[in-house]
């Protein structure tokens, strides 16, 4: 469900394929043990493949998805398990993307890893914690790598090698109550800028004395929404040569302080923060669905949780005098830990290939609102029929066509962490943006300079 900071869509393997060597895991020609779910464990010679194993290979797939997203993931896992007899996927649900990565870090340390995980980390790939998957992809006869949306596929590459596979694409879009817009004479097509949105939010806000009872808009907690808005204003995280952190520039300070003003001074907008997992996210959605807010900025993947007889969707706006919106459009990626056994890696690739085939990526998009990762999905009969009667499904696709690429943090997360801290200070603590961003800049620049 989430973007770059925060907040997160079968083929028979060829017998006799050359096995990949796992970094630090089960290697060589020794037997490996695969849990089969029914009879405890089965010893399978390392020279065998999933296709030649006498018993199904059971693997764990970790993901941090809740609500309807989790239900749809469970449905596809069950569909995959029913479609063949070689691999059994056991879905392990985490609270969110962050917990997934934390649990994976502990699993890597103990050498007890899942075979596949809905998570990606460039720094970890470079350190050898994830396995490159180019050879596994090459051995899939119907994988059709060219059919993937290449901007999404390329986001899974690290130093020229494919380490992660895009499961679905996401971008932050705007959801609004149709009745509140109509009541206040607001047309979604007329909201071209953030200034337009602020004016509409002020008009729709309801106050009783000093208390706001209905908020005109609710941005989502975290740095993501404000980064999107900053990129749309022309800001950038790093200088063109990559040597200077730019997060205290005028574009950043003006954008972030505007959000602070809307939240803390005008009180036309509100932030829900904290809680367990996606709790803050669903509180935000609930405000809109219960009529306590006129709209919010959320993930394209929220569409599976929304009632479109009540709400509709629109693209993020730009800024007056600057141009249209340029919010981040990113792929949510899955990887295969390097410490998984060779046969588990084969099984994981079989599952990831199945999830991302044209029919299933179209199914995921229809039922979640996330963006399909294959070009051919737009021609899937079910997707074509659905989009004709549900035009909101096309909003993320339109926005992604002019979106910004996600930031790849060269410091291994220290720049993004500094921005998270700054966002909390602005959104929750009412700290002036110039102060919060200057502190973040100093921390981030120090981390970047250590790379020289």
Q: What is the distance between the alpha carbons of residues 186 and 176, in angstroms, rounded to a whole number?
A: 11
Q: Note the pLDDT of residue 305.
A: 85
**What pLDDT, on the 0 to 100 scale, is given for residue 49?**
81
Q: What is the CATH number of domain 172-327+408-449?
A: 3.40.190.10
Are domains 32-170+331-400 and 172-327+408-449 of this chain identical in fold? Answer: yes
Q: Taking a C-beta distance cutoff of 8 angstroms, is the pair 342, 19 a contact? A: yes
Q: Could you read off the pLDDT of 437-452 as tens digits, one per residue?
A: 999 999 999 999 999 7
Per-residue confidence at 43, pLDDT binned at 50, 70, 90? very low
Give 50's pLDDT tier (boundaries 50, 70, 90): confident
Position 237 scores a pLDDT of 98
**pTM score of the predicted model:** 0.75
Integer angstrom CA distances of residue 405 from 3, 154, 155, 231, 240: 11, 11, 9, 10, 14
The answer to whether residues 134 and 161 touch, using CB atoms and an 8 Å cutoff, is yes
User: Rounded to 5 degrees, what angle do the CA atoms 95, 223, 8 make?
Assistant: 35
Tell me how far apart the alpha carbons of residues 234 and 318 are, in angstroms, rounded to a whole number: 10
Mean pLDDT lowest among 45-54, 217-226, 236-245, 333-342: 45-54
Q: Please give the pLDDT value at position 46.
A: 46
pLDDT, the chain, mean? 89
Query: pLDDT tens across 227-259, in order?
Result: 999 999 999 999 999 999 999 999 999 999 999
Angle at 333 between CA 332 and CA 335, to 5 degrees: 160
* Range of lowest pLDDT (7-16, 273-282, 405-414): 7-16
Pick the more confident residue, 100 or 44. 100
Confidence of residue 210 (pLDDT cuts 50, 70, 90): confident
Q: Which residue ranges make up each domain of the chain?
A: 32-170+331-400, 172-327+408-449
Cα-trace Rg, the chain:
23
pLDDT tens across 317-363, in order?
A: 999 999 999 999 999 999 999 999 999 999 999 999 999 999 999 99
Lowest mean pLDDT among 38-42, 71-75, 78-82, 377-381: 38-42
Which fold, 32-170+331-400? D-Maltodextrin-Binding Protein; domain 2 (3.40.190)
User: Is pLDDT above 70 for 27?
Assistant: no
The pLDDT confidence band at residue 3, using thresholds 50, 70 and 90, is very low
Contact 328, 224 (CB under 8 A): yes
Pairing of strands 157-158, 206-208: unpaired
Task: Report the SS3 class of residue 32.
Answer: strand
Helix pair 223-232, 414-427: axis angle to 10 deg: 100
- Checking if the pLDDT of 5 tops 90, the result is no
Over residues 361-397, the pLDDT tens digits come to 999 999 999 999 999 998 999 999 999 999 999 899 8
* Inter-CA distances, 234 with 192, 228, 411, Å: 16, 10, 23
How many Cβ atoms from other residues are within 10 Å of residue 212's Cβ?
18
- Cα(418)–Cα(416) distance, integer angstroms: 5
Query: pLDDT-derived band of residue 6, with 50, 70 and 90 as boundaries?
Result: very low
Report the alpha-carbon distance of residue 299 to residue 173 in Å, rounded.
Answer: 6
* Phi-psi map region of 286: left, alpha, beta (phi>0 left; psi -120 to 50 alpha): alpha
C-alpha to C-alpha distance for 172 and 315, rounded to whole angstroms: 8
pLDDT at position 48, please? 67
- Tell me: pLDDT of 423 over 80: yes
DSSP state of 85: S
The two three-digit tokens of residue 165, written as one number: 């596979």
């Amino acid at each position: 469900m989430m973007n770059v900071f925060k907040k997160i869509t079968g083929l028979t393997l060829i017998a006799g394929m050359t096995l990949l060597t796992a970094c630090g895991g089960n290697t060589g020609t020794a037997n490996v043990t695969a849990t089969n779910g029914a009879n405890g464990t089965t010893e399978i010679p390392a020279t065998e493949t999933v296709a030649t194993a006498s018993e199904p290979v059971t693997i764990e797939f970790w993901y941090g998805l809740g609500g309807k997203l989790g239900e749809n993931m469970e449905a596809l896992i069950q569909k995959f398990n029913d479609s063949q007899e070689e691999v059994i996927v056991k879905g392990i649900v985490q609270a969110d993307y962050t917990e997934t990565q934390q649990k994976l870090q502990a699993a890597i340390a103990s050498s007890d890893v899942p075979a596949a995980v809905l998570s990606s980390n460039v720094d970890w790939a470079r350190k050898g914690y994830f396995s490159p998957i180019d050879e596994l992809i090459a051995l899939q006869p119907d994988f059709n790598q060219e059919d993937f949306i290449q901007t999404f596929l390329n986001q899974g590459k690290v130093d020229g090698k494919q380490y992660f596979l895009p499961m679905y694409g996401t971008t932050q879009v705007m959801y609004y109550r149709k009745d509140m817009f109509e009541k206040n004479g607001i047309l979604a097509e007329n909201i071209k800028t953030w200034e337009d949105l602020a004016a509409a939010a002020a008009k729709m806000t309801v106050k009783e004395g000093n208390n706001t009872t209905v908020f005109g808009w609710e941005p989502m907690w975290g740095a993501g929404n404000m980064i999107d808005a900053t990129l749309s204003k022309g800001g950038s995280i790093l200088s063109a040569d990559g040597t200077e952190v730019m997060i205290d520039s005028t574009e950043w300070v003006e954008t972030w302080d505007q959000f602070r003003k809307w939240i803390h001074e005008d009180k036309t907008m509100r932030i829900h923060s904290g809680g367990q997992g996606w709790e803050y996210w669903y509180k935000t959605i609930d405000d809109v669905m219960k009529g306590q807010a006129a709209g919010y900025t959320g993930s394209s993947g929220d569409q599976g949780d929304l009632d479109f007889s009540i709400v509709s969707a629109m693209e993020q706006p730009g800024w007056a005098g600057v141009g249209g919106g340029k919010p981040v459009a990113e792929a949510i990626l899955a990887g295969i830990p390097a410490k998984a056994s060779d046969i588990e890696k084969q099984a994981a690739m079989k599952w990831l290939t199945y999830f991302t085939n044209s029919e299933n990526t179209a199914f995921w998009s229809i039922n979640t609102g996330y963006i399909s990762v294959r070009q051919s999905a737009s021609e899937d009969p079910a997707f074509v029929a659905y989009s004709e009667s549900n035009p909101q499904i096309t909003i993320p696709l339109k926005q992604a066509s002019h979106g910004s690429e996600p930031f790849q943090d060269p410091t291994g997360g220290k720049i993004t962490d500094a921005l998270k801290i700054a966002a909390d200070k602005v959104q929750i603590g009412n700290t002036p943006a110039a102060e919060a961003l200057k502190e973040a800049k100093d921390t981030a620049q120090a981390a970047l300079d250590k790379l020289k």
